[in-house]
Amino acid sequence: MSPDRAVLQRAIERGEREGGSVEFKERLSEDLHANEGRFESLAAQLRHRVLSGDGEATYVVGVTDDGGIAGIEPDVFSESMDVLSLLAEEAGAHIEEVQTWSVEEDGLVGVATITEGTVLRDDEHIVVGTAGHVDHGKSTLVGSLVTGQADDGQGGTRSYLDVQPHEIERGLSADLSYGVYGFDEDGPVRMDNPNRKSDRARVVEESDRLVSFVDTVGHEPWLRTTIRGIVGQKLDYGLLTVAADDGPTKTTREHLGILLATDLPTIVAITKADVVDEERLAEVEREVERLLRDADKTPLRMARYGVETAIEEISDTVVPVLRTSAVTKQGLDELDELFEHLPKQEGATEESFSMYVDRTYSVTGVGAVASGTVNTGRVEAGDELLLGPMADGSFREVEVRSIEMHYHRVDEAEAGRIVGIALKNVREADIERGMILLPRDSDPTAVREFEAEVMVLNHPTRIGEGYEPVVHLETISEAAAFYPEGGQLLPGDKGNARVRFKFRPYCIEEGQRFVFREGQSKGVGTVTDITGPE
């Protein structure tokens, strides 16, 4: 018997008894169990089970009253979890974890762990996009920040941040970020092991303020993935790493250009300060400062001006620079202080809800999940939304089944939160990256063409009519044809162009920034006018 199956067997063996914390349910239906009469008594029963288990109860769903394996259809299991979540909320508790097993041909049985305490209300959460050349210590630095542990000099803390595919498939989680830590009134709240779901959930639960790190890829061939991480998320700050032994590279310049072109307030961390002498450190600092001044940015050396000044002055034009070492932990206290006090970028929480889909997956017993960063407004479980556009430009009506952040169930999420949203009335196969979720009463338009002001950062010759780079806008990554006003644009030029998505329409709006890239050619742009599909 596998360890997972043993969890089910142990729960059945403990049995459903008076004064115990285990409850057997074959199924829970909205029609039968969520009506006013039954609902209150079932919530009281759940509360009793939680108190009997010293704050934790176990519900086995898909079994008979005597513990016999019955198995129920996936849709019925999902409905049972919806009802159980409502019962838990009524009883001042929440579903912490659900494990499922297949039985018979198309049946499911599951064990839900119910924990005392309401679901998390996330009040302050900043999202930091990391960038930097491969082997410049980006993941190692973040690994030391989120664990508080010094690196062993071989990148040991980096291994904490490897996101495993099974983690995404196993639980309802928007694990776009590869690290998270927080702060409470006593200081940093860190993880012992970021690969443990329970550890991440604990940090989320205990922290008054959260810091999530969104990973990008350092290898030049994967610059597209870096652009996705920077453009496709609602980031508050950028963190660019430059290794002291290597200095700024071509990739460093690429990443810095993308961060600054999108007006993202950025911090530059010079890493591996322990492996070079003072002369080399000072040289790399000067190189970084020259790089920033060439981009019309003002470097702010934190060793000279201090953390408080960096917090006050950081902006799209002022870039703090500091020395760090994951081995000696130099600079980590300063980064902690920065991330504890940096202001959250103004989120449009008063606007209506919108979220671009970054990743999709399916969870057994839950169904289709769309994950991404909430762009505007707020969303709650039970909200009715529109998803789209589909390939034909239409939008589909869906309903929010549940919301989760860093393996922790939340009852709502607002602008800037990285979440996974389980959706009713849609299959995972029908959800694609680049789609958007909007309120059902909105009237969105699927756009095939738009006008834009563009600036060519790099191109070997000229951009003429019909030029087809990949456009990265929000989570959209799509080939598009450019038709410059006047017929051409040269490197360094800024001008207007008509842009047409090659394969399908998307939902975009005026004022959105985007990056375009094809080979060594790169540029940035702003949507100035939109045109619906032909």
pLDDT band per the 50, 70, 90 thresholds, residue 406: low
pLDDT band per the 50, 70, 90 thresholds, residue 285: very high
Please return the burial class of 254, using the count of CB atoms within 10 Å of its CB with bins 0-12, 13-18 and 19+.
Answer: buried
CB atoms closer than 10 angstroms to residue 486: 9
The helix/strand/coil state of 269 is: strand
Residues 184 and 208: their CA atoms lie apart, in Å, by 5
Provide the pLDDT for residue 118: 55
| Digit-coded pLDDT (tens) for 462-498 | 778 888 988 888 889 899 999 998 888 877 778 899 9
Which residue's entry shows tokens 């999420």?
413
Beta strands, E only, 68-176: 93-103, 107-116, 125-132
For residue 287, give the H/E element and its range.
helix 278-294
What one-letter code names the amino acid at 66?
A: D
Provide the pLDDT for residue 35: 67
Structure tokens at 62: 């898909």
Q: Residue 222 above 80 pLDDT? A: no
Provide the pLDDT for residue 227: 45
Contact criterion met (CB below 8 Å) for 516 and 469: yes
Find the helix packing angle between 74-90 and 36-52, rounded to 10°.
Answer: 80
pLDDT band per the 50, 70, 90 thresholds, residue 219: very low
pLDDT band per the 50, 70, 90 thresholds, residue 4: low
Statement: 125-341 belongs to CATH 3.20.20.140: no
429 or 136, higher pLDDT: 429
Question: Mean pLDDT over residues 31-58, rounded?
Answer: 84
Provide the pLDDT for residue 330: 95
Lowest mean pLDDT among 22-36, 112-126, 331-345, 381-395: 112-126
The pLDDT mean for the chain works out to 81
313 or 94, higher pLDDT: 313
What strand order describes the sheet that includes 93-103?
22-25, 56-61, 107-116, 93-103
CA 29 to mean position of chain CA atoms:
32
Provide the pLDDT for residue 308: 94
Provide the pLDDT for residue 85: 79
Provide the 8-state DSSP code for 236.
S
Alpha-carbon dihedral 343, 189, 235, 273, rounded to 10 degrees: 90
Q: Residue 99 above 50 pLDDT? A: yes
86 or 407, higher pLDDT: 86
Q: Residue 2 above 50 pLDDT? A: no
CB atoms closer than 10 angstroms to residue 397: 13
Residues 132 and 240: their CA atoms lie apart, in Å, by 5
Beta bridge partners of 23: 59
CA 73 to mean position of chain CA atoms:
31
300 or 198, higher pLDDT: 300
Provide the 8-state DSSP code for 156.
G
Question: Which among 246, 243, 247, 254 is positioned nearest to 219, based on CA atoms?
Answer: 254
Statement: 449-531 belongs to CATH 2.70.40.10: no
Statement: 354-439 belongs to CATH 2.40.30.10: yes
The bridge status of strand 266-271 relative to strand 209-214 is unpaired
Residues 121 and 171: their CA atoms lie apart, in Å, by 20
Parse the chain into domains and list their residue ranges: 3-116, 125-341, 354-439, 449-531
pLDDT band per the 50, 70, 90 thresholds, residue 343: confident
CB atoms closer than 10 angstroms to residue 170: 15
Provide the pLDDT for residue 171: 35
| Digit-coded pLDDT (tens) for 379-389 | 998 899 999 99
Provide the pLDDT for residue 25: 93
Provide the pLDDT for residue 59: 94
Class of CATH domain 3-116: alpha beta
| Digit-coded pLDDT (tens) for 107-163 | 888 888 888 765 544 446 788 888 887 788 888 898 899 889 988 776 555 555 544
Provide the pLDDT for residue 228: 46
Question: Which among 95, 19, 98 is positioned nearest to 61, based on CA atoms?
Answer: 98
Provide the pLDDT for residue 7: 83
Question: Mean pLDDT over residues 355-359, rounded?
Answer: 89
Intrachain domains 125-341 and 449-531 with the same fold = no
Structure tokens at 3: 């360890």
| Percent of the chain's residues with pLDDT above 90 | 33
pLDDT band per the 50, 70, 90 thresholds, residue 176: very low
Residues 62 and 77: their CA atoms lie apart, in Å, by 8
Ramachandran area for residue 11 (φ above 0: left; ψ -120 to 50: alpha; else beta): alpha
| Digit-coded pLDDT (tens) for 236-270 | 888 999 999 999 988 788 777 777 666 789 999 99
